[in-house]
Amino acid sequence: MRYAMAIDTKRCVGCSDCVVACQTENKVPIGFCRDWIVETTTGTYPQLQMEIRSERCNHCTDAPCVRACPTKASHYGAGGIVTVDHEECIGCKACIASCPYDARYVHPEGYVDKCTFCIHRVEQGEHPACVAVCPTHAMTFGDMDDPMSDIFKLVSRRKWKTLIPEAGTRPNIYYLI
Amino acid sequence: MVEELITSGRLTPEVDPILHIWGWEIPLYLFLGGFAAGILFFSALFTLQNKENRYPMAVKILPFAVPVLLAIGLGALFLDLSHKFYFWQLYTNIRWESPMSWGAWTLLLVTPLSIVWAASWLEEAFPKFDLRYNWLKEILSDLKPYRKHMAWALIILAVILGMYTGILLSAFNARPFWNSAIMGPLFLTSGLSTAAASVTLLTRNHEERSDFTKIDLLLIAIELFFIIHMFMGFLASTQVHVQAAELFLGGRFTVPFWVWVVGIGLTIPAILEILELRKHHVPIFVSAVLVIAGSVMLRFIVVEAGQASRWLY
């Protein structure tokens, strides 16, 4: 089983509902975020292209944060999800330095925190909070190892990219383009 | 021209807009760890070569500074942790892939061994010091036959400690400026050079001073060689590595690095050391203090610049 997310950049309007839903669901402290919106504009005026992405931890298959962690606090959980055990985290911040996506932060309580793919909801058969609230249905969550899953079919059918694949992290968030 | 504009809705403290998770604590520790490794390396090496009477400062006296340096360094590391009272988790886990774990375990071995090592030299280093307790004197004299064994262990541990201070940074692929294999050897050489310079600063033995000046000169040359190769490596690598190098080639670290580290911390002391070896009258402490200051600056600038360099997407 390999949990992954596909995010459709053609559907995303950058409303930030996913950000708010995540902050509410996971009680993310004010000023911090586990997911965020990035807007990029490329090209030469007037031929400009815009892309909007909802970004978060990529739950990399080859996660540098798991390698950097000296205590096994950052580890692979069920379905390949990268999670942080708060009781094992010493706050050395090596994982923050190791993440090319800057997806982690130091929680005011001292431990390092980040997106969990809302595993507590997934275990109950629900979608992650961000996926559940997305008004344009831009996000699909599921098991990439299951050829019958919606995400597998979507990623097979559409053109996609991952972020900084050259960093060698094998990310599990697919951006449909 | 194709332009790219990225707007992000993220403003995480210590991460945005420029990563700043590590302040003064980590570079200070990297400096002290490298310094301690350098002292232990020379002390152990010249013990194995039976040169303890030729180099009394390096072999017998300076090792007394090591436990103090390591204690301050460990204190700085502890201060840096944001979840401090879970620090013991470092010692319930062994993670081969994590340089931080290597460092924690190496320090656990080096620190007590450095105390035992210094203690074994107490009588020779400070003959006037009276221990008072006979049982303590007996323990210390029992240590002496094991000096060569300890020296072998210390040489290996000192190299690991000195290298790891650089590898800790070079293992971070996410920060292109740190991500150079030269960082380990560079920090090891810099730590050895700091130790050699402090011997020339403190010794009163003319022969020891002159030999360690030569050693330091060689180490400075190796450091300059590594620095040039590091930049050659960056400039021949990917765009993000080129951008990381550009922080030092016109960017905001240009003056601090080339003037303070390469100029005042390496080149000027090297010239002063050459003049001194040619019997010109140069105040000896100047070159030593500059080398030590340059070594501190190197750590601070590298830690800062690494955090400022990143992948963009």
pLDDT number for residue B2:
63
- Any A CB within 8 A of B126 CB: no
Instruction: State the nearest Cα–Cα gap between A92 and chain B, in angstroms.
Output: 5
Q: How distant is the alpha carbon of residue A56 from its chain centre?
A: 3
Write the DSSP assignment of B205-269 as a string of letters.
-HHHHHHHHHHHHHHHHHHHHHHHHHHHHHHTS-HHHHHHHHTTTTSTTHHIIIIIIIIIIIIHH
Distances (CA, A) of B34 to B109, B186, B290: 15, 10, 16
Q: Where are the alpha helices (DSSP H) in chain A?
A: 17-25, 64-68, 94-98, 119-122, 129-133, 150-157
**Closest CB to A110 among B83, B98, B238:** B83
- Give the closest residue to A129 by CA, choosing from A38, A28, A43, A8: A28
Quick check: A173 pLDDT over 90? Answer: yes
pLDDT number for residue B9:
83
Quick check: A171 pLDDT over 70? Answer: yes
Structure tokens that stand for B15 in this block? 């991460």
pLDDT number for residue B132:
79
- Any B CB within 8 A of A67 CB: yes
As for the ipTM of the complex, it is 0.93
pLDDT number for residue B26:
97
pLDDT number for residue B7:
77
DSSP A127: P
pLDDT number for residue A128:
97
Domains in chain B, number? 1
Contact between A70 and B307 using a beta-carbon 8 Å cutoff: no
Structure tokens that stand for B203 in this block? 């010794």
pLDDT number for residue A144:
96
Sign of the alpha-carbon torsion through B176, B248, B255, B290: positive
Question: Chain B neighbours among A 21-60 (CB < 8 Å)?
Answer: 31-33, 36-44, 55
Contact between A70 and B101 using a beta-carbon 8 Å cutoff: yes
- Has residue B4 been placed in a domain? no
Encode pLDDT of B200-209 as tens digits.
999 999 999 9
Instruction: State the nearest Cα–Cα gap between B180 and chain A, in angstroms.
Output: 14
- Has residue B299 been placed in a domain? yes
Quick check: B258 pLDDT over 60? Answer: yes
Q: How confident is residue B60, by pLDDT bands cut at 50, 70 and 90?
A: very high
Between chain A and chain B, the number of residue pairs with CB atoms below 8 A apart is 157
Question: Chain A neighbours among B 5-64 (CB < 8 Å)?
Answer: 5-16, 19, 21-22
Judged on CB neighbours under 10 Å (0-12, 13-18, 19+), B139 is: middle
Express as a percent the part of chain B with pLDDT over 70.
Answer: 99
Q: Which residues of A touch B176 (CB under 8 A)?
A: none
Q: Which residues of A touch B311 (CB under 8 A)?
A: 100, 164, 167
Quick check: B302 pLDDT over 90? Answer: yes
Contact between A164 and B311 using a beta-carbon 8 Å cutoff: yes
Q: Which residues of B touch A13 (CB under 8 A)?
A: none
- Domain enclosing residue B133, as ranges: 25-308
Write the DSSP assignment of B37-104 as a string of letters.
HHHHHHHHHHHHTT-TTTSHIIIIIGGGGHHHHHHHHHHHHHHH-SSGGGGGGGGS---TT-HHHHHH
Q: If you average pLDDT over every residue of chain B, what do you get?
A: 94
CA angle A68, A71, A72 (to 5 degrees): 80
Quick check: B1 pLDDT over 60? Answer: no
User: The CATH number of the domain where B38 resides is what?
Assistant: 1.20.1630.10
**Closest CB to B174 among A87, A99, A110:** A99
Contact between B2 and A44 using a beta-carbon 8 Å cutoff: yes
Quick check: B180 pLDDT over 70? Answer: yes
Q: If you average pLDDT over every residue of chain A, what do you get?
A: 96
pLDDT number for residue B128:
85
Quick check: B284 pLDDT over 90? Answer: no
CATH of A3-176, picked from 1.25.40.10, 3.90.1420.10, 3.30.70.20, 1.10.3720.10, is: 3.30.70.20
- Any A CB within 8 A of B96 CB: no
Contact between A38 and B82 using a beta-carbon 8 Å cutoff: no
3-state secondary structure of B148: helix
- Any A CB within 8 A of B134 CB: no
> B284 near B291, Cβ under 8 Å?
no
Nearest residue of B to residue A109 by CA position?
Answer: B83
Encode pLDDT of B227-236 as tens digits.
999 999 999 9
Q: Which residues of B touch A168 (CB under 8 A)?
A: 173
Encode pLDDT of A131-166 as tens digits.
999 999 999 999 999 999 999 999 999 999 999 999
Quick check: B313 pLDDT over 80? Answer: no
Q: Which residues of A touch B175 (CB under 8 A)?
A: 97
Instruction: State the nearest Cα–Cα gap between A40 and chain B, in angstroms.
Output: 4
- Any A CB within 8 A of B98 CB: yes
